[in-house]
Structure 1
Amino acid sequence: MSGKRFPEEFKIEAVKQVTEKGHSLADVANRLGTTTHSLYAWIKRYGPEASHHQAKSDESDEIRRLKKELKRVTEERDILKKAAVYFASQSD
C-alpha cells in the first residue's frame, strides 16, 4: 500500500467518473492509480448519497450530545435532591 494522499478535488472528480459518466469502478481506480477500496470510500463521502450520510451523521452527533447533556442534568438533579434532604434534616 503506497499511502498516497489525494486532494479533495481529485477524489470528487474520480467519483463523478463513476457516478455520472458511468465508468466502471475498477477501471477508474486503475487509471487513477488508486484502490477500489479507496474509491468506494470516496463515493460514500462525495457521491450523490453523501448528503444522506451526512444527515445521519449530524443526527447521531445530536443524539450523542443530548445523551451527554441528559446525564449531566440528571446528576445535577440527584445532587440537589440529596442536598434538599440534608438541609431539611438539619433544620429540624
Structure 2
Amino acid sequence: MVAKKMRYPVEFIEDAVRLTRSSDRPLRQMARELGVNPETLRSWVNKAKQAEVEQPEDLAVPEEVRALRKRVAELEQDNDILRKAAAYFALVPG
C-alpha cells in the first residue's frame, strides 16, 4: 500500500520550520506535536537552511528602501505645498 502524499499550506510549513528551529525539543517530538512525518519536517528544515545559503540577504533592498523613502519625502512636500495653495485660494475672494 502506497501512502497518500499530503500537501500542506505554505504558511503551515513556514511556521513549522520556525517553531522547530526555535525549540529545544527534538525534531521527532516536534513532528509528532505538529502531526507530520518526522522526515517531512526534517526535509522542510533542510530546505529552509539550503535556501538561506543559496540566497544571501539581498543588498539591493536597502538601496530600494532609501529610494522609496526619498520619494515619500518628495510626495509629502508636494502635498504640503498643495494644501497651502488650497488654503490660500479658499481665502482669496473670487
TM value normalised by structure 2? 0.48
| Bigger relative CO (Cα 8 Å, ≥ 6 apart) | 1
